[in-house]
Structure 1
């Protein structure tokens, strides 16, 4: 890790809101699994959700959007603030010490630095189409990669809780927020959208009933195209009618059954 990067960060820390951060739970959907983008600090065997400090020149939402863009390379992503996290013990972690930071960065900071003090995180979840993401790790990270939400690695601080609460919020919002539109590719089959909602809700949904009611809303349109699947009858492709979808969200049409 570049010592200059750490030194520049601490010297310019006055440009940020101290002891307040955004933590961004970035969800993607791939190979019938809901995945979350996680980052791993240098020389630690633990991971965190993507996050960052809030610049004094930006709003909280702008900070969350900046973090999402830095990690995915995408702009205009769907972000939803769902909770805040804060207690005196949440930044206490065996691996997060002044000694460790000095060993990794070559930059010494005092043990009573603000970075070890009471920290409040404002949490967002972000939805993105998996195939469009171009992952970029920051200069403070050893790795940044997707993990299935069902197989999380060892997490730092309270970040496992943050992911669980994000998933809970996603399940509460799924009937009235553009979850499917944001996570699926532009063209998809009925089994694919059915599986997406089953995966998120972690429960079976009656296939016929789900399809019938989904088509009745008019938010998806059948295309004159089929997906070629080896050894199977090719299914028709569908896409979202964005205008109908937006109208449904505003009018309160339930998008999951």
Structure 2
């Protein structure tokens, strides 16, 4: 749980829902890698997922959107609630409170916190990672270069990725992770990065084109080592129809 000074005051003044927090897994895609946005606590070398408290005046979705906007600078964000983490002993509270003693007073920690997990899919190039008063930095990290995460955030991240993989045929991952125009190899690498496995490029292109979710432009990507690939863009209406029917199950 990441909280800022105003949120600490809100907890003291009972302006938040007690013992309820949000943890957000923000996915982006860049240079062939699936990346996740992390925050480093102020004055420490400890990392975690971004998150926060839920105010009495807001819904869970509104709270998640507020937290995500603060971290990314984006307003219109694709997000999904994926799991609630409610074990009575989710992590070693004494160890965490000692590591972050210089940031959060010990008496401010909940004896028990139930966390609602959200994952978000964002366009990497449009994000402006922003730390808050409680953190020194907010950075993208590839899934193969993650630092040790505080709390039970490694489990939360793994669970979010599992949910994303299960829902990949029904969620507009490309529409949110890819730029407006993209090549077929870039789209394929995005799916490979999410699934963690290779995809047959010939079958992939054939099936994607057959689905009708993309439209081929006349523009080609220049400066590539091999034959210049054409750019594509999504047919949003058709994409929505195909996702609703689950017809991308072949990915």
TM-score calculated relative to the size of structure 2: 0.91
Offset, 1:230: 4.3
Q: Secondary structure at the match of 1:165?
A: helix
1:134-167 per-position Cα deviation (integer Å, ceiling 9, x unaligned): 1111111111101111221011010011111111
Separation in 1 of the partners of 2:81 and 2:75?
Answer: 17
Separation in 1 of the partners of 2:124 and 2:9?
Answer: 36
Residue 183 (structure 1) aligned with residue 181 (structure 2): no
The residue correspondences of 1:167-206 to structure 2 (distance < 5 A) are: 167-206=161-200
The residue correspondences of 1:154-169 to structure 2 (distance < 5 A) are: 154-169=148-163
Separation in 2 of the partners of 1:99 and 1:36?
Answer: 23
Q: Secondary structure at the match of 2:182?
A: coil
Separation in 2 of the partners of 1:10 and 1:199?
Answer: 37
- CA spacing shift, 1:99–1:199, aligned 2, 3 Å: closer
Partner of 2:32: 32
Structure 1 vs Structure 2 CA RMSD: 1.9
Partner of 2:8: 10
9-18 or 147-156, which deviates more? 9-18
Conserved in 1, the CA contact under 8 Å of 2:7 and 2:53?
Answer: no
Conserved in 1, the CA contact under 8 Å of 2:40 and 2:46?
Answer: yes
The residue correspondences of 1:84-163 to structure 2 (distance < 5 A) are: 84-93=84-93, 96-97=96-97, 100-101=100-101, 103-104=102-103, 109=105, 111=106, 113=107, 115-163=109-157
Separation in 2 of the partners of 1:208 and 1:52?
Answer: 44
Separation in 2 of the partners of 1:69 and 1:49?
Answer: 14
Stretches of structure 1 that go unaligned for 5 or more consecutive residues are: none
Conserved in 2, the CA contact under 8 Å of 1:197 and 1:256?
Answer: no
Conserved in 1, the CA contact under 8 Å of 2:97 and 2:109?
Answer: no
Offset, 1:104: 4.0
Q: Secondary structure at the match of 1:213?
A: helix
54-63 or 245-254, which deviates more? 245-254
Conserved in 2, the CA contact under 8 Å of 1:214 and 1:220?
Answer: yes
- CA spacing shift, 1:99–1:162, aligned 2, 3 Å: closer
77-86 or 219-228, which deviates more? 77-86
Conserved in 2, the CA contact under 8 Å of 1:19 and 1:115?
Answer: no
